[in-house]
Amino acid sequence: MINLGVGLPLRIGKLGIHNLPHGYYVYVGSALGGLASRLRRHLRSEKRLHWHIDYLLRQAAVAQIWYALGPDKLECKWNVILRNLPGATPSIHGFGASDCRCSSHLTQFQVTPPLGLFKHSLEQNNLPQIYQLNELNSRSTDLDCTIPRIVGQQTDVLAHP
């Protein structure tokens, strides 16, 4: 979940310039190459702009991170559920959705997205539970500590169901 404090025009790579209203944005993605390194990248300000999300995060702050661990790509399923939440508006056609049939992997909300409803809907659709990453901090050293600990807990849960 991303917070954009003031509305502004923003260039999103080849998608061009978009006028983004202030508010909250929820981006869904997968990190099949490793969650910790991907999140560190999202939170780092110094990087080459590669993905659409990189352009947005130059101007907007990461407010919360929610994740599920597992072998399956869940981003498109999550996206459908997000779109059906009250207050959801699809944002920037094509954003983060170059490899799938979704119109965009970015959803805008004027007020805090109803993530309680989102979690409830995941349950109803028999999708894995999601967890919030706590102690969110852009300093990568903190993330280094946080994510392996969470992944460790998850592994433990899976090993002892």
Task: Give me the amino acid identity at 20.
Answer: L
Residue 14 C-beta: closest distance to Zn ion, Å: 18
Q: How far is the CB of 37 from Zn ion (least distance, A)?
A: 22
Candidate residues 15, 69, 76, 151; the one interacting with Zn ion per rule CB under 5 A: 76
C-alpha to C-alpha distance for 47 and 54, rounded to whole angstroms = 8
The one segment of 17-25, 29-37, 46-54, 91-99 that binds Zn ion by CB under 5 A: 91-99
Crossing angle (nearest 10°) for helices 75-83 and 115-124: 120
Which stretches of the chain are assigned E, i.e. beta strand? 2-4, 8-11, 17-20, 23-27, 61-62, 66-67, 89-90, 106-109, 131-132
Q: How far is the CB of 135 from Zn ion (least distance, A)?
A: 29
Per CB under 5 A, which of residues 97..136 are in contact with Zn ion?
97, 100, 102
Site residues (CB under 5 A) for Zn ion? 76, 97, 100, 102
